[in-house]
């Protein structure tokens, strides 16, 4: 199995510089491997007799076999070490919330609080070894986040990123240097991935259905109510009333269909590439989440990709990507292939296609089904009713049921922010929610993935001004604006990087931003700020020790 560190045999008495020795249950080996693709630093499964700077242990170690300057002992159970050191456990709680550096860290299994030390207890060096006792099982938490994901009420917590940050801090704060490839493209602070689900590409195709009547209500009485509550300005009321008045002329083909103008995103984004997900077949609601019968009829769209085929050349000329907005691909790979082939008929691109499921349908078997269908990535992992981090991270990751496909997390969706039956925010309230997400991705790296639907820049939503302001605020941070495929390809490049002793090598010549090698210098005290240097590299780089 591939490791983040070299597999070169060394004498057992040789210290493994920069390499973390990991002790975990064999059942967690796939979790450990994926965790260290996200925390991209040299590691290997612990070899008894070998000397390490740091050993990370989840569970009950045989301490006499551990030769390390620093032992990080994670466990949600009382251990022999606790008994030996007479550690006082204040409480053992189900799903506690811990606090570290002013940020809340939700725990989804059990957690331990130590008397006088909250959930971390540190012991000064004895027999040349520092032991840090952490009161939860790290890999059990990682498994939950990657397999099941956080509930909506915890969406605001980047829990997995916080687990990585805590581990990094415990290592460097114990006086050990660390080598890492952070999730940060060289030359940029993070990746901004703007995407658009095309659900309603034409108002004209909705005749006397719930969508048409909903449009009329929201454009007329709904606009008046929102203006009276201070949620929209009066100018938008007038725009929506005029759109409702023109509706008969839209059906007669005498005036422009306002929902057919979604390609205006290319003008709004002004050269920034984005990804459009199109529905393959009209009036197909697909199977229900319970897989017993069909989904609600309202899930079936009144358009398909053939109706917007003339828009595709303009989108592709602007550098945009076309993906599948899947119907049944999440539940059955054969149907996924049929849906992908339908999109390919109009794009001419049969390879490297990504998918996001309509209504974010998904279950634990979906990654394997989508992988079998040939998709290179999925971007369904988000919330319908909240913004934030379903998997607790800004990074693309490999789902546990998959071998190759990557999941590009979805963080922000317009309907989650503004729909009355979701968060129902005003624009100022929405900025209060968005600001922590922007701050986190600026400091942590990774990608911020945004979904702004096709008709959200048209009447009756008119959420285009918020989207334009979001782009403006993102631009001030100078991120790499990429399509979903480009973002995922960069993460694949990072995952392919290999540590060989003090040499690091990665793929080259792919046209993607370079990687960064970050060297964290040792800190003499945990309360000192981080001290590191970054070096951009491509191909290969040698680290001076």
Q: What is the mean pLDDT of residues 198-214?
A: 94
How confident is the model at residue 73, as a pLDDT? 94
Predicted pLDDT at 87: 87
Q: Tens of pLDDT along 114-155?
A: 988 889 887 766 667 888 999 999 999 999 999 999 999 999
Distance CA 284, CA 301 (A): 7
**Cβ contact 194:467 at 8 Å:** no
Question: Any idea of the CA torsion for 21, 23, 27, 28, to the nearest 10 degrees?
Answer: -60
Cβ pair 194, 481 in contact under 8 A: yes
**Cβ-based neighbours of 268, under 8 Å, separated by 6 or more:** 457, 464, 467, 468, 471
Gap between the Cα atoms of 499 and 42, Å rounded: 6
CA distance 132 to 130: 7
- Mean of pLDDT values over 497-520: 91
Q: How far apart are CA 504 and CA 497, in angstroms?
A: 7
The reported pLDDT for the residue numbered 524 is 65
Whose CA is closest to 287, among 279, 278, 296, 275?
296
Q: Above 60 in pLDDT, residue 338?
A: yes
Distance CA 386, CA 376 (A): 26
Q: In angstroms, how far is CA 286 from the centroid of its own chain? A: 26
Sign of the CA dihedral 81, 84, 85, 88?
positive
Give 293-324 pLDDT, tens digit per residue. Answer: 899 999 999 999 999 999 999 999 999 999 99
Q: How far apart are CA 423 and CA 386, in angstroms?
A: 7
pLDDT value at 404 more than 90: yes
Answer yes or no: is pLDDT of 62 > 80.
no
- What pLDDT is attached to residue 85? 82
Residues of the chain with CATH 3.20.20.370: 191-199+261-490
Judged against a pLDDT cut of 60, whether residue 3 lies above it is answered with no
- The CB density around residue 123, as the number of other CB atoms within 10 Å, is 15
**Structure confidence at residue 293 (pLDDT):** 85
pLDDT confidence bin for 545, thresholds 50/70/90: low
* pLDDT for position 7: 41
* Domain 15-180 of CATH type 1.10.357: no
CA distances from 151 to 145, 207, 359, 448 (A): 10, 37, 17, 19
Percent of the chain clearing pLDDT 70 (strictly above): 94
Which residues are within 8 A (CB) of 59 and not within 5 positions of it... i.e. 6 or more apart? 23, 24, 25, 75, 137
- 159-173 helix and 427-444 helix, angle to the nearest 10 degrees: 40
**307 in Cβ contact with 205 (< 8 Å):** yes
Average pLDDT over residues 481-510: 93
Give the model's confidence band at 5: pLDDT under 50 very low, under 70 low, under 90 confident, else very high.
very low
Q: In which residue ranges of the chain is CATH 3.40.50 found? A: 15-180
What whole-number percentage of the chain has pLDDT above 90? 81
Range of weakest confidence among 124-128, 356-360, 477-481: 124-128
Residue 1 has pLDDT above 50, yes or no: no
| Average predicted confidence (pLDDT) for the chain | 92
**Quick check: 6 pLDDT over 70?**
no
Mean pLDDT for 324-335 is 97
- Indicate the range of 325-334, 463-472, 530-539 predicted with least confidence: 530-539
Poorest-confidence range of 12-26, 126-140, 159-173, 439-453?
12-26
CATH superfamily of 191-199+261-490: Glycoside hydrolase/deacetylase (3.20.20.370)
CB neighbours of 29 closer than 8 A, spacing ≥ 6?
A: 1, 45
């Amino acid at each position: 199995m591939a490791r983040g560190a070299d597999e070169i045999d060394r004498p057992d008495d040789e210290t493994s510089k920069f390499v973390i020795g990991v002790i975990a249950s064999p059942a967690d080996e796939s979790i450990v491997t994926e965790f260290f693709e996200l925390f991209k630093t040299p590691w290997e499964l612990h070899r008894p007799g070998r000397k390490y700077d740091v050993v990370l242990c989840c569970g009950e170690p045989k301490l006499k076999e551990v030769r390390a300057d620093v032992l990080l002992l994670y466990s949600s159970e009382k251990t022999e070490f606790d008994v030996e050191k007479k550690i006082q456990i204040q409480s053992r709680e189900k799903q506690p919330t811990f606090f570290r550096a002013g940020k809340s860290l939700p725990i989804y299994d059990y957690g331990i609080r130590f008397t006088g030390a909250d959930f971390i207890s540190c012991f000064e060096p004895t027999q040349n070894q520092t032991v840090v006792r952490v009161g939860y099982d790290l890999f059990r938490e990682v498994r939950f986040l990657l397999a099941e994901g956080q509930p909506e009420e915890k969406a605001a917590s980047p829990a997995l990123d916080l687990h990585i940050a805590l581990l990094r801090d415990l290592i460097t704060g114990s006086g050990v240097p660390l080598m890492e490839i952070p999730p940060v493209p060289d030359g940029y602070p993070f990746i901004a991935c703007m995407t658009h689900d095309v659900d309603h590409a034409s108002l004209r195709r909705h005749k006397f259905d719930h969508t048409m009547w909903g449009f009329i209500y929201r454009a007329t009485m709904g606009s008046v109510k929102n203006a009276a509550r201070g949620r929209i300005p009066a100018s938008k009321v007038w725009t929506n009333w005029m759109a409702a008045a023109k509706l008969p002329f839209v059906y007669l083909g005498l005036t422009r269909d306002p929902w057919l103008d979604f390609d205006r995103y290319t003008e709004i984004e002004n050269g920034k590439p984005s990804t459009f997900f199109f529905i393959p077949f009209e009036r197909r609601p697909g199977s229900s989440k319970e897989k017993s019968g069909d989904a609600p009829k309202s899930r079936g769209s009144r358009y398909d990709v053939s109706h917007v085929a003339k828009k595709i050349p303009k989108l592709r000329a602007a550098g945009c990507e076309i993906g599948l907005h899947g119907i049944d691909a999440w539940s059955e790979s054969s149907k996924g292939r049929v849906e992908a082939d339908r999109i390919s008929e109009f794009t001419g691109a049969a390879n490297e296609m990504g998918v996001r499921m309509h209504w974010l349908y998904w279950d634990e078997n979906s990654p394997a089904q989508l992988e079998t269908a040939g998709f290179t990535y999925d971007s369904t992992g988000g919330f319908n009713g909240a913004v934030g981090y379903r998997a607790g991270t800004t990074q693309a990751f490999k789902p546990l049921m998959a071998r190759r496909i990557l999941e590009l997390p979805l963080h922000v969706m317009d309907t989650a922010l503004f729909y009355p039956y979701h968060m129902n925010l005003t624009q100022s309230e929405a900025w209060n929610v968005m600001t922590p997400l922007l701050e986190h991705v600026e400091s942590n790296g990774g990608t911020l993935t945004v979904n702004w639907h096709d008709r959200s820049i048209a009447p009756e939503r008119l959420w285009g001004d918020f989207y334009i302001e979001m782009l403006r605020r993102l631009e001030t941070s100078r991120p790499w604006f990429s399509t979903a495929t480009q973002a995922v390809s960069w993460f694949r490049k990072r995952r392919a990087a290999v540590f060989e002793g003090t040499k690091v090598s990665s793929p080259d010549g792919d046209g993607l931003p370079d990687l960064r090698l970050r060297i964290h210098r040792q800190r003499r005290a945990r309360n000192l700020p981080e001290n590191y240097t970054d070096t951009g590299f491509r191909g290969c780089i040698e680290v001076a020790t």
